[in-house]
Amino acid sequence: MESPPQKLRVLVVDDSAYNRQTITAMLESLPGIEVVGRAMNGKEALQMAFDLEPDAITLDLEMPEMDGFAFLRLLMARRPTPVLVVSGYAQRENVFRALELGALDFIAKPSREISPDLKSIRDELATKIGTVKRLHAVRLYNRAKALAAVDRRTTSNTSLQSTKAAPRTPSGMPPALVVGIASSTGGPPAVQQILCALDAKVPIAILVAQHMPARFTRAFASRLDRLVDFHVVEAVDGHPLCAGTVYIAPGSANMEIERPGDGREAPMVRVVPPNTAKPGPVLTPSADHLFKSLAAQYGRRLLSIVLTGMGSDGREGAREARRLGGRIIAEDPDTAVMPGMPYSVIEAGLVDEVLPVEQIPEAIARFVGEARGGGEGVR
């Protein structure tokens, strides 16, 4: 007789007793979940993490005695464990710091204050806690270490960081080549790592479809803009598509490119609502939608990259990109935080290269060099 499957053991960390109780009740209402401990600050949580060895942790960031950032640094160095940050919308910048330190993903609380509205996150909590069974926590730690190494190199030039201008409309020449990036769970640090290693002087525009709540994509773009050489913006409908710029798709919409016309020199970025008529869950922003639009416009001058994430978003878009001559790279599923998305394009036979994140910037540089050498009109 088979023994019943082991339950996923979760530690809940929050300085609010109400939040601890509410999150615990939501988790314990899910099949296969057991809350093994509750902690009110990072110091208490760290001891419980070592003693109880939970499979996953939900974490508030703003806590007394030891906050969530110090907790993450120590946890990931000593016992890498999947961490879901549960944070209010007002702490958007803090969420990305936590992801860079090795947190798996985040859930946005309706408010920082104690509120019955906290129960509204139950479905999202159920979905994201379920991803824990599909990943290896050590990958989170390795990515945090790699990103820290990149950040030390890129932020050593403090004058660059201090002279970054306030958000502005993209300007410059139309790109000779474009790069589309698809990512989901585990994606923000991977995207950051790639962009930090790229030279913004190459004549490309980069368009990113990162699955993320709507109110967080602007903060993500702003943070990247301060850390990388490229100009990074949350895409706005009507933006010109310019070389040297990274466009982050808004969380509640899809991003596409409109062909030049009416005397315009540059293609235009369009932000459009998702297609809710199709059956099944609606993912926004859609990598399939982005890749198909870019392929129609750029053909062989498109490089599509599929990074970490659950599901198969990007596969059908990559299929169209390949049909029209584009190049496809998938992150190596063996090193991805979440292998579903890259594995889906590999399994479909659509990929030209399978690479760990650390090697993708070099592959982008090769793509540009080969286009220059092949007479693709790259200046």
What tokens were used for 125? 């909590």
Examine the domain organization and report whether 230 and 353 are in the same domain. yes
Same domain, 98 and 192: no
| Residue 156 forms part of a structural domain | no
Structurally, the chain folds into a number of domains equal to: 2
Residues with a known catalytic role: 184, 211, 313
CB 224 within 8 A of CB 248: yes
Residues 123 and 206 grouped into a single domain: no
Is residue 77 domain-resident?
yes
Note whether 311 and 186 are within 8 A (CB). Answer: no
Complete DSSP assignment for 356-374? -GGGHHHHHHHHHHHHHHT
**Positive or negative CA dihedral for 4, 10, 16, 22?**
negative
**Residue numbers of the domain that contains 233:** 169-373
Each residue's pLDDT expressed in tens, for the chain with a length of 379 residues:
556 678 899 999 999 998 999 999 999 999 999 999 999 999 999 999 999 999 999 999 989 989 999 999 999 999 989 999 998 766 788 999 999 999 999 998 766 555 566 777 888 898 889 888 766 566 777 777 777 766 554 444 444 444 445 567 888 899 999 999 999 999 999 999 999 999 888 889 999 999 998 889 999 999 999 999 999 999 999 999 999 999 999 998 999 999 776 555 679 999 999 877 766 667 889 999 999 999 999 999 999 999 999 899 999 999 999 999 999 999 999 889 899 999 999 999 999 999 999 999 999 999 999 987 765 544 4
Round to whole Å and give the CA distance between 304 and 321.
8
In this structure, the answer to whether residues 280 and 358 fall within a common structural domain is yes
| β-strand partners of 331 | 355
Tell me, yes or no, whether 146 lies in a domain: no
Q: For residue 111, what pLDDT is reported?
A: 60
* Sequence-separated contacts (24+) of 75-81 with Cβ below 8 Å: 75/46, 75/49, 75/102, 76/101, 76/102, 76/140, 76/141, 76/144, 77/141, 78/50, 79/49, 79/50, 79/53, 80/137, 80/138, 80/140, 80/141, 81/49, 81/54, 81/55, 81/56, 81/57, 81/137
- CA nearest neighbour of 27 among 132, 134, 137, 141: 132
- The token pair that represents 112 in the structure block: 């920082």
Torsion of CA 83, 56, 120, 30, to 10 degrees: 170
- Residue 329 and residue 211 share a domain: yes
Which residues touch 142 (CB under 8 Å, ≥6 apart)?
Answer: 335
d(CA 261, CA 258): 9
Which residue do the tokens 């913006």 mark? Answer: 233
Residue 13 lies in a domain: yes
Distance CA 241, CA 217 (A): 18
Written as six digits, the tokens of 370 are 């080969």
**Could you tell me the CATH number of the domain that includes residue 58?**
3.40.50.2300
Domain co-membership, 99 together with 189: no
**Which amino acid belongs to residue 131?**
T
Which string of DSSP letters, residue by residue, matches 193-231?
HHHHTS-TTSSEEEEEEE---HHHHHHHHHHHHHHSSSE
Query: How far apart are alpha carbons 125 and 129 in whole angstroms?
Result: 6
pLDDT for residue 113: 53
pLDDT at residue 375, rounded to an integer: 56
- Structural domain includes residue 143: no
Instruction: Please tell me the distance from the alpha carbon of residue 304 to that of residue 180, in angstroms, as a whole number.
Output: 5
Provide the pLDDT for residue 331. Answer: 97
Same domain? 180 vs 130? no
Q: In the structure encoding, which two tokens stand for residue 31, read together?
A: 């099949």
Tell me the whole-structure pTM to 2 decimals. 0.88
**356 and 217 housed in the same domain:** yes
The enclosing domain of 367 has a CATH number of 3.40.50.180
Sheet containing strand 33-39, edge to edge, reads 33-39, 8-13, 56-59, 83-88, 105-109
Q: Are residues 352 and 222 in the same domain?
A: yes
Q: Is 59 inside a domain boundary?
A: yes
